[in-house]
Amino acid sequence: MTIATATPPTAKPRDVQVMPIGPGTTVLRSRTWERLKFEIEYSLKKGTTANAYLIQGDQVALIDPPGQTFTDVFLNKLAQQLGDRAIDYVILGHLNANRAATIERLLEASQPPRFICSNPAAITLRSLFPDRDLTIEVVRSEETFDLGQGHLLKFIPIPTPRWPDGMVTYDPASQIAFTDKLYGAHVCGDQIFDEGWQIYEDDRRFYYDCLHASQPKQVSTALDKLDDLPAATYAPGHGPIVRYGFAELRHAYRHWTQQQTEKELSVALIFASAYGNTAAVAQSIARGITKAGVAVESINCEYLDPEEIKGAIEKCAGFIIGSPTLGGHAPTQIQTALGIVLNSADKSKPAGVFGSFGWSGEAIDLLENKLQDGGYQFAMPTIRVKFAPTQAVLQQCEEAGTDFAQALQRANKRRAPKPAAGTADRTAQAVGRVVGSLCVVTASQDDVQTAMLASWVSQATFKPPGVTIAVAKERAIESLMHEGSQFVLNVLAEGKQLRRHFMKNFPPGADRFEGLQVETASNGCPVLTDALAFLECTVRSRMECGDHWVVYATANSGKVLDTTGVTAVHHRRSGSHY
């Protein structure tokens, strides 16, 4: 077999795109065209924009300056917009440490700006600049501030477990709500507004699922607050500004949030994070849990009342707790949360432990040993991450979250009474008579390779040659099957052992190709050389259908590997399971 090598595209340089978007209001979009960070939210690899906003009234305010990789180019563009004017206020929708370099440069001005932010952001700001005398106006409830010329800004705190310092800014002069982490998307392009907004549906849904699906209670409260604003435009921290698909995206956020709150089972995900690594692991675990149809209640125990932790523990079906290791110990807040868990959680509830560390992992050992001594059973292997997690580690964390959720579902199903046979059972038997060829879908992205046994596969088009594949939402490969993704469809031959190999339950992070003869296709994905045939495919679209995604892909090339073999076919007695 001839194996081609894909040539990586030349990366575009990072830049800052500037455009007026309202009266006295300008967006400065710091654009990166490649994957920005290791977190799972960036895994679609479409780049992103860090959106900052400049409002010039009688006074000047800058909303959300970008991180240090854009400091120089951003400040040059900002100076061109300001002319002889100075920044009076820096408004922070949320604050993380990577913005410190840009803020430091702003503070070097002859007239340093004052800051407007929530109280958690103010605490972080002072910790980042302990030697500076900062002027900070802390927003404790819904307050207003007059910049002049009609820019009577309103500030609305919207704390969430992931961003306890979250805050929305609303400007009646432009009817723009600056929504920070809400209504965004990690996609980079020349388009500033969302004309033809349908092209962003997949990106926005993925962004929501990664960032917000695990905190539906707080997101619902934030949406209620935003609904009270007479806004016509949402200006998020990432991606295109929402104007043309305004009503549709608001409705989608409500629908997605309601889907999470209506789920029968929930997991309490308790964590603290010193440098963001433990939070990134928590986010990936939460993503795996929600993919499997189980709700998550994320609990950042650094900012939550002990009684709220106790309430979440008592109502959840299972719990997972994670911690960084600081000076050889778990943070005080984690130790407090652990005490609440040991005193409140029923011993029958499955448990899990995770954490990140630099040179040692004593906090993770503490959590694991205390829960084991307390008689709790673990439904996932303990996850230990040294330094920042890689994409492969985050994929493993997602798979661990899915396994945890499926363990809860199996236990719940065993407890439920079995329904009597009836029309639904007869219908399932009839559906089961629909047969499909057995295939293995293989995909690769950076240092992640995965595979899935598939029987719901069908040719869909002649020109171009295309196929559809139904992918269960909880499958590990689902995150590598978005629009533009590459994969290989390996068609299996009757009588070969590949089917049995891929019917196994693989533990999180396991090598699914161990012991198999594998080569690499020109799109970088594995080819099973014992297959009957293979197709190299590109995902063109996908549609959400109940508990599956139906993926449509076109075949770019293919080859029959065994001209004498017969396609393996999957026969079922019932259409209610595989």
User: What CA–CA distance (Å, rounded) separates 539 from 390?
Assistant: 25
- pLDDT at position 193, please? 98
Handedness of CA 171, 175, 176, 177 (dihedral sign): positive
- Kindly give, in sequence order, each residue whose CB lies less than 8 Å from that of residue 316, ignoring residues fewer than 6 positions away: 266, 267, 268, 297, 349
> Using an 8 Å Cβ cutoff, are 312 and 284 in contact?
no
- pLDDT at position 415, please? 82
> Using an 8 Å Cβ cutoff, are 47 and 203 in contact?
no
DSSP 318: E
- List the beta bridge partners of residue 320: 269, 352
Which of 383, 385, 397, 392 has its CA nearest to residue 354? 383
Four-point Cα dihedral 282, 326, 328, 396, nearest 10? 20
User: How many angstroms from the chain centroid is the CA of residue 529?
Assistant: 34
Which of 449, 437, 433 has its CA nearest to residue 399? 449
The DSSP result for 424-486, as a single string, is HHHHHHHHTT--EE-EEEEEEETTEEEEEEE--EEEEETTTTEEEEEEETT-GGGGG-STT-E
- pLDDT at position 3, please? 29
- List the beta bridge partners of residue 538: 486, 554
- pLDDT at position 424, please? 62
- pLDDT at position 575, please? 84
Angle at 357 between CA 287 and CA 181, to 5 degrees: 40
User: What CA–CA distance (Å, rounded) separates 153 from 151?
Assistant: 6
> Using an 8 Å Cβ cutoff, are 207 and 263 in contact?
no
Structure tokens at 522: 């020109």
The whole-model pTM stands at: 0.90
- Kindly give, in sequence order, each residue whose CB lies less than 8 Å from that of residue 7, ignoring residues fewer than 6 positions away: none
Number of C-alpha atoms within 13 angstroms, CB side, residue 112? 13
**DSSP H or E segment with residue 323:** strand 318-324
pLDDT, one tens digit for every residue, the chain (578 residues): 322 333 334 468 999 999 999 999 999 999 999 887 778 899 898 999 999 999 999 999 999 999 999 999 999 999 999 999 999 999 999 999 999 999 999 999 999 999 999 999 999 999 999 999 999 999 998 899 999 999 999 999 999 999 999 999 999 999 999 999 999 999 999 999 999 999 999 999 999 999 999 999 999 999 999 999 999 999 999 999 999 999 999 999 999 999 999 999 999 999 999 888 999 999 999 999 999 999 999 999 988 788 989 999 999 999 999 999 998 999 999 999 999 999 999 999 999 999 999 888 999 999 999 999 999 999 999 999 999 899 899 999 999 999 999 999 999 988 877 766 566 688 989 988 898 899 999 999 888 999 999 999 999 999 999 999 999 999 999 999 999 999 999 999 998 789 999 998 999 989 999 999 999 999 999 999 999 999 999 999 999 999 999 999 999 999 999 999 999 998 888 888 88
Structure tokens at 576: 């209610």
The DSSP result for 25-63, as a single string, is EEEEEEEE-S--SSSGGGTT---EEEEEEEEESSSEEEE
